[in-house]
Structure 1
């Protein structure tokens, strides 16, 4: 691998605990928390069950984060899940994950969130709707340009926009908690007139878990984490706990400001809450906050996805040029350019939404098998000392894998068409893998 070869440029380890935690926060908090609570409210009967679901989602995700902490400590190189799958299960499963995520899901999600950023940014400054796609493409060009100059420049960008998104959330909290005085008993009351089935609870938990997704990006960039065996677990845990606290408190603010019924009926609860208090100016302020939040997510997703592409290239699973690391800036410049250009193509063609839907099952399968590699690492290297080990092993990884498999099953039931396309996309990677390996062998013989 490029990262492990002394004769080739390697990544610069400069990310500390706080920068790592900012990546976790920025990768998890995108636009979901500003919209998803309305969906969860639709599927619950009252405020207390809603808050319990957000707390439960945080605990389940924390189990996965702790597993990723040990995986990152054991394999502190760039590539994340791709690297773990390659070690434990071989090159084909790793390629199928990279094929699905780095080439489809990552650029698709970047394109989708960049358009969300542009939509809110244009609303905030009263630009016409036809500006949305050019602004989204311009944002990706800017993010890629900053990241070309290495992880220090990229982490500076992430830190700034993480602070801005936390400021937007803090504003929601201040408004909501100021209104909460004397009303907490009402929002925590349980509605005994409506019985919610177990299936409904699972249906309500799904959007919660999706909103907690994105914590894996730090592992994609593990080759740039300073003292990774200690920093990775700490940054992952600190970032996710911070996110969980924010999510629960933001939902308290929504319940106080809008009520459970009002939250369930809202299409944009954050904007509605601010509009109720500050009028049109409040909606504009929240549009700016959501624009900052989504912009920060795009920066992290581009940086993380490019590291996966670079690792694939250095493995010979993609073009070798994509596997290069710039000798001065220590950044995967070709991989960044490829990911950025492909995301812009998806924006201009408008095909990103369906791609993201089609690869959701593949993403969660990657999480399930990625966490499952921890059992392989423990069996093969269990005798070796490690600065971080998952507490309550094997319970926590088992719980997380079962949770993810449950999410996959529910997704297949709820959207069988999208799930089928996701599995088809993964299966199409098998002949691509065979063709690529054959072409690589022919090229090696000819050289």
Structure 2
């Protein structure tokens, strides 16, 4: 068996509850809330149904957050889900998670969101489209460079951009309510009394994806002060804030555009701002979305690098990636490796296919990660946890069953990408055994 990584003794706990809550908010709010509501409106027939879906999705996500709070309190180590899977189910499932997430999904999402950042940055500044790739690459280089100085430098940058994205969200809410001029009935337009399960799931899928990203704080748990106390509070505070923001933004969209207007819009945030302030308004929200996407990239790079570093310390990746720089206590080689891989994906243009092929793997990791709670409760009865998810086992079971249902629905709606996602995971099995053989020969 590969040696267990002594990561908790190497990282320094420098993140307080404010930093941790900002990481949760910044990891969830990216570009989705500025676009996804239009997709949800297309798949629903009333404003009431749309708002209900965002509330239901928020409650389901909060259920997952409560589960991750217990896991983080039990094992406040860098690596998050990788650590839980390794301890509960063994090295192979943990490796398959790391293979799918740290090597494919994290850099793929960073490449995609960095490109989105560059798109909006060019739109806001009037730069030609030829600048998109250079700006996206430059953003990744800058984020990696800041994080090389340690978690405090990365957290400071992250806090600034999270506040900016919250400012953009607040502006959208105010503008939508002002445009409604007190006529908020459009936000409560009733629809058909009966909705098919297929329609409901099809509309819930983009909602749940927009709520994704709450797990990044657990990846950084080895650097959180008083983690048994801070992690549950920061996860609850951060995710609760996101749910409130998302529901209010959708209310503002409906109040300002109406359900039909929202469903017909390709860029509801820009359209809302354009109606209020003209083209200057569209430019302002483009800046806000650029800030939001930039902040997400910072969190994904920081969290993904920790997973990669822990994998390497276990002997499951190149040994130099396991190194933590003694002065800054940052996994500098892991940060550089993740950044370089994301840049390669941008330049090759292959990140879109990677993300399509790993969506199922990401949600499977959430389901199996939270399922480790059952193992911890059964096997470690004598080990008290400072925080326990309420209504156990109901809440973990609700989340796991719901996520598996989402995966099945995704496979039915998009069998090609779901099948490719499972193939990507399966390809990790021979790679795992090759690394095991390499360990025995070193």
TM interval, shorter chain, is over 0.9
Partner of 2:85: 85
1:223-238 correspondence to structure 2 within 5 Å = 223-238=222-237
Distance 2:427 2:135 in 1: 33
C-alpha displacement of 1:185: 2.8
Partner of 1:35: 35
1:155 is aligned to 2:150: no
Partner of 1:333: 332
Distance 2:187 2:256 in 1: 10
Distance 1:296 1:164 in 2: 9
C-alpha displacement of 1:178: 2.4
Distance 1:195 1:134 in 2: 50
1:134-173 correspondence to structure 2 within 5 Å = 134-173=134-173
Q: Which structure 2 residue ranges, 5 or more long, are not aligned?
A: none
Does the Cα contact within 8 Å between 2:410 and 2:418 map onto a contact in 1?
yes
C-alpha deviations, 1:175-210, integer Å up to 9, x for none? 112234532233213024x75312101110110000
1:125 is aligned to 2:125: yes
C-alpha deviations, 1:227-255, integer Å up to 9, x for none? 00010010001000000000000001100
Partner of 1:97: 97
Q: Which structure 1 residue ranges, 5 or more long, are not aligned?
A: none
1:408-419 correspondence to structure 2 within 5 Å = 408-419=407-418
Partner of 1:248: 247
C-alpha deviations, 1:320-346, integer Å up to 9, x for none? 111111000000000000000000000
Does the Cα contact within 8 Å between 2:7 and 2:222 map onto a contact in 1?
no
Secondary structure of 1:359 counterpart: helix
Does the Cα contact within 8 Å between 1:3 and 1:11 map onto a contact in 2?
no
Does the Cα contact within 8 Å between 1:3 and 1:77 map onto a contact in 2?
no
C-alpha displacement of 1:2: 4.3
C-alpha displacement of 1:164: 0.3
1:436 is aligned to 2:429: no
Distance 1:86 1:2 in 2: 11
C-alpha deviations, 1:102-125, integer Å up to 9, x for none? 000100000000000000001100
Does the Cα contact within 8 Å between 2:102 and 2:307 map onto a contact in 1?
yes
C-alpha displacement of 1:28: 0.2
Distance 1:145 1:250 in 2: 34
Distance 1:347 1:208 in 2: 26
Distance 1:313 1:374 in 2: 25
* TM-score, structure 2 normalization: 0.98
Distance 2:12 2:180 in 1: 47
How many residue pairs get aligned? The number is: 439
Partner of 1:184: 184
- RMSD (Å), alpha carbons: 1.1
Distance 2:224 2:172 in 1: 32
Secondary structure of 2:139 counterpart: helix
Partner of 1:379: 378
C-alpha deviations, 1:288-330, integer Å up to 9, x for none? 0000000000000000000000000111111111111100000
